[in-house]
Chain A
Amino acid sequence: MDDLLSEFLTETNENLSVLDVELVRLEQNPNNPELLSNIFRLVHTIKGTCGFLGLPRLEKVAHASENVLGKFRDGELTINPEAVSLILQALDTIKSLLAVLEATEAEPPGDDLPLIERLNLCAEGKLGGPSPAAAAAAPPPPPTAPAVAASDDRPATLDELEALWNSIPGPNDPPAAAPAVPASTAVATRAPEPAEEPAPSQDLVVPDAEPAAAKVPAPVAPMAGGSAGGNAGGADAGAEAATKESAVAAQTIRVNVDLLENLMTMVSELVLTRNQLLQILRSQKESEFAAPLQRLNHVTSELQEGVMKTRMQPIGNAWAKLPRLVRDLAHELNKKIDLQMLGADTELDRQVLELIKDPLTHMVRNSADHGLEIPAERLKSGKSETGRITLNAYHEGGHIIIEIQDDGKGLAIDRIKQKAIQNGMASEIELASMTDQQIIQFIMKPGFSTAAKVTNVSGRGVGMDVVKTNIEKIGGTIEIKSAQGKGSTFVIKIPLTLAIVSALIVECAGERFAIPQISVVELVRAAADSEHTIERLKGTPVLRLRNRLLPLVSLQQLLRLDDSEDAKKPADETFIVVTQVGTYTFGIMVDRVFDTEEIVVKPVAPILRHIEMFSGNTILGDGSVIMILDPNGIASATGEMAMGEAAGKETTAVQTQRQEDKMALLLFRAGEGAPKAVPLSLVARLEDVDLATVEMSNGLPVVQYRGKLMPLVPIDPNFSLANEGRQPVLVFADGDRSMGLIVDEIVDIVEEKLNVQLAAERPGLMGSAIIAGKATEVIDAGFFLTQAYKDWFGSSAQEGFEEEKLQRVLLVDDSPFFRNLLTPLLSVAGYDVTAVENAGDALALCEAGEDFDVIVSDIEMPGMSGFDFAEAVRHGSRWQGVPMVALSSHASARDLDRGRIAGFNDYVAKFDRDALLFALQQTLTDQKGAA
């Protein structure tokens, strides 16, 4: 590309981004002549260069915009949002033309007549804004007349002025420069008016606003006189401003980025060499090199600092586009948004800057779109109409912190929950146990968007996850805080520079490695004599750290380092580098820990790139080469174990798999052996029986309980009751009958996944399972019920359903445990239960001519799922009229719908005993009614 052209493109693009910002500022401070003349100058420059380079199409657009701006400057036109929008539109056109120019090195054919026409109309004062009619001002009318005329003839203007007034920060601003133009004296008459109005309490949008307000008297005067012909004052001010600007411009030069990159590399080398020299010097007692080396040291340090600075850019560069973006959004969404940018001069490495630009833009857009409410809603909730987005950047301990804060409605936790369930990211049970903070984390997951509808602005399902990935790519972190109704804050923490990082030097099997400091949380020394010791679970090392189990990774094993003979490994002493990657925390076991060192990250040789454990290598001060470990690589290399741990420890992580059947279990001790458990849903009450009240009846101990006799059944048949004291009892009840199961001690209620191994060598025992980390016997409640009343199941049915024959229930469930659990449960409730373990068997029963009144089926089954089973039954089988109830651990709205479509009449959560019984009753009644 032509050097001249590329120079032009760079410069014009820069100018355009400045213009975006300045125009938005102008809209808010219409009477800032400095601002206006700067804008005018920039557009003029663009126009001039276009003409010089022979780019007529660009020139025409720029010229038309300049015309409008000229009218603004000369005070012939009022600055109003329409006009500003029009000019912004013209700038956009110029930008798109430039893009084509950059790609093809030629202007695209065609013209922009409609736009130019509108610009011209605007310049003539026929569009959007009113025509201030400079001519009318020439013969100065009586002082009050124009003000009256203005309000009579152009009510729109006054409204606009009010609007402008509202958007002007500071109570001291006059309404606008505009009314001053048609009649200078009108200002005086109107001046008190703004004072009467309560000044909207708004913070400054841009730092310049305050000085502008202070300067108000000055610009108004020349402008007022301007119509009478003496515009010299304004012009002078403009010229002065211009010279000030260009003086600044002359002090900077353009340097190719490659050159700077090279310079940076060279300086890095120099720093390393200097470090080596210093190391050598330290080993020599007296050397004539000492003094010059000391000087070299200083010079190098300063050079390094200087070169680092050349790479630094104020973060404001990344923000330059935001005011315009927010303004456009505000118009589009009919919101009032005030964007505050604090610490725009905070500097960071340009490489980092480039990488955070897009995430930042995205987040501001999110805040404006999702975060802030519409004005009416804001007023309703007692906030000011104008929503505020604050960007704040500052340094903190070698990092840059960027906060993006809005005072909107905050993140909608309920919506996030709903969405998480819908997307299958978590079940309701899991969500119930999560804190709001953990739930918020879901918005960082891929494919997650809570925007109810896809707007032009956001809600396309790509978003926060990309933001998070980008930020993590540069070694940063992102944190979300949100308060319902008060707004949300995103805090981004990123390293200052990528070129030089602080790293912890560790040793393992005689080799040294560097671990980037940013991912190191803490160091723990584990030794036989210290409070921390490494424990092993089937060979896997773990560490107890503040009541949490930290998974450990042995660097030696991971890198397959053999014990080198010269490694003097201190016996039984290991250091653990606690490392955090995302939300996953793990420990890296190393032999020794040295100090931290500033290192220059260099990429590894291409033939070693495939080793994901290393993110690079570097040369230490002593001249040795050292590999830099990549915590991300280590985390992913430790594989599924890592993911599982993450999910278990931090509920914030995505639960890739839905939790399996969890149920509430009552743990207790009774008799010999392991602790025992019984599903809590079967237990009606827990009672403490005074043994003195126990009587014997028919050879069985009984107590008077709620006006009836309740038999007490021991788990161990040889158990004999003491005569006094108290005894805990589990009460099982059905109808008006109840039974007490004598236990020694009630331990706990836990929610666990039950995986029962059926090994019921003893009656009354369903099997054993691991509960709360211990082998536990799960008792068969049904067995003990029949112990108390031999006719428990049968009799209740006869009592409850005397007038009709037993309702037949077909129970389809693959889990033997649930069949065993539900069969007594349903029998107790008076149903005749037939249980089969899969859909195939059930359909075979259908073939065989069996009839049932209702079918209860599990959903998750191997082979044919519940849904498929229901469809099979509904489509043409003999049972198509039989009501069906689905039984599942996931009873979310989506599952419900799916179940209904498949042909289930009702859907019940698996562990909800009452709901199941109710559903059965309901379904059967409906059926009867229908029949």
Chain B
Amino acid sequence: MSNAKLPSTVRKSKGDDIVVSGNQDYVTMTIADQMFGIPVLQVQDVLGHQRITRIPLAPPEVAGSLNLRGRIVTAIDVRLRLGLTGRPKDKPGMSIVVDLRGELYSLMVDSVGEVLSLTKEDFERNPATLDPRWREVSTGIYRLNGQLMVVLDVPRLLNFTTIETA
């Protein structure tokens, strides 16, 4: 009996440390015309525009919190996290909900695209000259047809302690 867990506590623990091997599925998104990707297994939800409650005194990257089917989700403005300017107010934007150690976070992006299955051959490490702030939160780059996709590392993206030093 003691080992029984209710569904709500089941965690996608495998998603956190994905190994780059074979084909990988990524949810793609666009921020400031740049394409980013997150391993599809780490994604819980894709949301449209949401009402967000501001959290006073929180770090600027924390846009606030929102209610996702009864769970409180912390919304992160990925633009600010990547050192970009905030999204213009008239553009509603979208969110990708990810799970990190049992807590839900909603990553606010400009738009969410399709799911791509990519091969290892197209993967490359971050160029050494990449903006340190981006290099910090990215595991590598995929060469796609006509554009590049930056793979976001969710745990590092949500590790706010490094922001001050970055």
* Distance in Å: Cβ of A91 to nearest Cβ of chain B: 28
Closest to A273 in B: B70
A456 sits at the interface (CB 8 A): no
Which residues in B have their C-beta under 8 angstroms from that of A511? 53-54, 56
Against B, the Cβ 8 Å flags (1 = close, 0 = not) of A262-278 are 11011001001100000
Interface residues of B in 92-141 (CB under 8 A from A): 101, 103, 105
Distance between Cα atoms of A265 and B8 in the complex (Å)? 9
Question: Is B72 a contact partner of A602 (Cβ separation < 8 A)?
Answer: yes
Against A, the Cβ 8 Å flags (1 = close, 0 = not) of B55-85 are 1111100101111011110100000000000
Q: Which of B56, B72, B103, B105 contacts A559 (CB 8 A)?
A: B56
Which residues in B have their C-beta under 8 angstroms from that of A606? 101, 103
Given A605-B74, A608-B55, A262–B67 Cβ distance below 8 Å? no
Distance between Cα atoms of A512 and B62 in the complex (Å)? 18
- A residues adjacent to B (C-beta < 8 A): 255-256, 258-259, 262-263, 265-266, 269, 272-273, 511-512, 559-561, 602, 605-608, 611, 613-614, 617-619, 623-627
Which residues in A have their C-beta under 8 angstroms from that of B158? 607
Closest to A626 in B: B53
B4 sits at the interface (CB 8 A): yes
Given A266-B6, A561-B56, A619–B70 Cβ distance below 8 Å? yes
* Distance in Å: Cβ of B74 to nearest Cβ of chain A: 4
Question: Is A617 a contact partner of B1 (Cβ separation < 8 A)?
Answer: no
Distance between Cα atoms of A277 and B53 in the complex (Å)? 20
For the complex with contacts A256-B1, A262-B8, A625-B53, 4 further pairs of A-B residues with Cβ separation under 8 Å are A255-B1, A266-B6, A269-B71, A613-B56
Question: Is B67 a contact partner of A624 (Cβ separation < 8 A)?
Answer: yes
Distance between Cα atoms of A266 and B7 in the complex (Å)? 10
Distance between Cα atoms of A602 and B67 in the complex (Å)? 12
Given A262-B5, A619-B67, A625-B65, A607–B74 Cβ distance below 8 Å? yes
B51 sits at the interface (CB 8 A): yes
Question: Is B160 a contact partner of A625 (Cβ separation < 8 A)?
Answer: no
Distance between Cα atoms of A618 and B67 in the complex (Å)? 9
- B residues adjacent to A (C-beta < 8 A): 1-2, 4-6, 8-9, 51, 53-59, 62, 64-67, 69-72, 74, 101, 103, 105, 158, 160
* Distance in Å: Cβ of B137 to nearest Cβ of chain A: 14
Which residues in A have their C-beta under 8 angstroms from that of B59? 607
Q: Which of A259, A265, A605 contacts B103 (CB 8 A)?
A: A605
Closest to A263 in B: B6
Which residues in B have their C-beta under 8 angstroms from that of A561? 56
Distance between Cα atoms of A618 and B105 in the complex (Å)? 16
Given A262-B9, A265-B8, A619-B67, A608–B62 Cβ distance below 8 Å? yes
Closest to A508 in B: B56
Q: Which of B4, B55, B66, B71 contacts A627 (CB 8 A)?
A: B55
Distance between Cα atoms of A263 and B9 in the complex (Å)? 11
Which residues in A have their C-beta under 8 angstroms from that of B71? 269
Given A605-B103, A605-B105, A607-B160, A262–B6 Cβ distance below 8 Å? yes
* Distance in Å: Cβ of B58 to nearest Cβ of chain A: 6
* Distance in Å: Cβ of B131 to nearest Cβ of chain A: 22
Distance between Cα atoms of A256 and B56 in the complex (Å)? 39
Distance between Cα atoms of A269 and B70 in the complex (Å)? 6
Closest to A272 in B: B70
Which residues in A have their C-beta under 8 angstroms from that of B160? 607
Closest to B159 in A: A607
Question: Is A560 a contact partner of B9 (Cβ separation < 8 A)?
Answer: no
Closest to A3 in B: B2
Question: Is B70 a contact partner of A608 (Cβ separation < 8 A)?
Answer: no
Closest to A637 in B: B57
Question: Is B53 a contact partner of A259 (Cβ separation < 8 A)?
Answer: no
Closest to A556 in B: B56
Question: Is A625 a contact partner of B2 (Cβ separation < 8 A)?
Answer: no
Closest to A561 in B: B56
Pairs A–B under 8 Å by Cβ, sample size 17: A259-B2, A262-B8, A266-B8, A269-B71, A272-B70, A511-B56, A602-B72, A605-B105, A607-B59, A607-B62, A611-B55, A618-B72, A619-B67, A623-B67, A625-B53, A625-B65, A627-B65
Q: Which of A263, A602, A611, A624 contacts B53 (CB 8 A)?
A: A624
Interface centre among B51, B53, B74 (most CB of A within 10 A): B53
Question: Is B57 a contact partner of A560 (Cβ separation < 8 A)?
Answer: yes
Given A259-B1, A265-B8, A624-B67, A608–B74 Cβ distance below 8 Å? yes
Main secondary structure of the interface of A (DSSP, over half): mixed
The count of A-to-B residue pairs whose CB atoms sit within 8 angstroms is 76
* Distance in Å: Cβ of A304 to nearest Cβ of chain B: 14
Given A258-B2, A605-B65, A625-B67, A617–B8 Cβ distance below 8 Å? no
Interface centre among A255, A618, A623, A627 (most CB of B within 10 A): A627
Given A608-B58, A625-B65, A256–B2 Cβ distance below 8 Å? yes
Q: Which 3 interchain pairs have the tightest Cβ spacing?
A: A559-B56, A605-B74, A269-B70
Interface centre among A272, A605, A611 (most CB of B within 10 A): A605
Distance between Cα atoms of A619 and B64 in the complex (Å)? 13
* Distance in Å: Cβ of A8 to nearest Cβ of chain B: 15
Question: Is A617 a contact partner of B57 (Cβ separation < 8 A)?
Answer: no
Which residues in A have their C-beta under 8 angstroms from that of B66? 625
Distance between Cα atoms of A255 and B1 in the complex (Å)? 8
Interface centre among B57, B62, B74, B101 (most CB of A within 10 A): B57
Which residues in B have their C-beta under 8 angstroms from that of A559? 56-57
Question: Is B51 a contact partner of A624 (Cβ separation < 8 A)?
Answer: yes
Which residues in B have their C-beta under 8 angstroms from that of A607? 58-59, 62, 74, 158, 160
* Distance in Å: Cβ of B60 to nearest Cβ of chain A: 12
Distance between Cα atoms of A258 and B55 in the complex (Å)? 31
* Distance in Å: Cβ of B20 to nearest Cβ of chain A: 27
Closest to A559 in B: B56
Distance between Cα atoms of A481 and B158 in the complex (Å)? 52
Question: Is B53 a contact partner of A627 (Cβ separation < 8 A)?
Answer: yes
* Distance in Å: Cβ of B98 to nearest Cβ of chain A: 12
Closest to A6 in B: B2
Which residues in A have their C-beta under 8 angstroms from that of B65? 605, 617, 625, 627
Which residues in A have their C-beta under 8 angstroms from that of B56? 511, 559-561, 613, 627
Which residues in A have their C-beta under 8 angstroms from that of B5? 262
Distance between Cα atoms of A617 and B56 in the complex (Å)? 12
Closest to B65 in A: A625
* Distance in Å: Cβ of B108 to nearest Cβ of chain A: 15
Distance between Cα atoms of A602 and B102 in the complex (Å)? 13
Which residues in A have their C-beta under 8 angstroms from that of B51? 624
Distance between Cα atoms of A262 and B1 in the complex (Å)? 13
Which residues in B have their C-beta under 8 angstroms from that of A623? 67
Distance between Cα atoms of A613 and B55 in the complex (Å)? 11
Interface centre among B2, B64, B70 (most CB of A within 10 A): B70
Question: Is B2 a contact partner of A617 (Cβ separation < 8 A)?
Answer: no
Closest to B103 in A: A605
* Distance in Å: Cβ of A594 to nearest Cβ of chain B: 15
Q: Which of A259, A605, A613, A618 contacts B4 (CB 8 A)?
A: A259
Distance between Cα atoms of A269 and B9 in the complex (Å)? 13
Which residues in A have their C-beta under 8 angstroms from that of B6? 262-263, 266
Closest to B104 in A: A605
Which residues in B have their C-beta under 8 angstroms from that of A608? 55, 58, 62, 74
Distance between Cα atoms of A728 and B1 in the complex (Å)? 90
Which residues in B have their C-beta under 8 angstroms from that of A272? 70
* Distance in Å: Cβ of B120 to nearest Cβ of chain A: 33
Distance between Cα atoms of A560 and B69 in the complex (Å)? 30
* Distance in Å: Cβ of B141 to nearest Cβ of chain A: 27
Distance between Cα atoms of A270 and B57 in the complex (Å)? 30
Closest to B1 in A: A256
Closest to A627 in B: B55
Closest to A509 in B: B56
* Distance in Å: Cβ of A603 to nearest Cβ of chain B: 9
Closest to A608 in B: B58
* Distance in Å: Cβ of B66 to nearest Cβ of chain A: 6
Interface centre among B1, B4, B59, B160 (most CB of A within 10 A): B1
Which residues in A have their C-beta under 8 angstroms from that of B53? 511-512, 624-627
Interface centre among B8, B62, B64, B67 (most CB of A within 10 A): B67
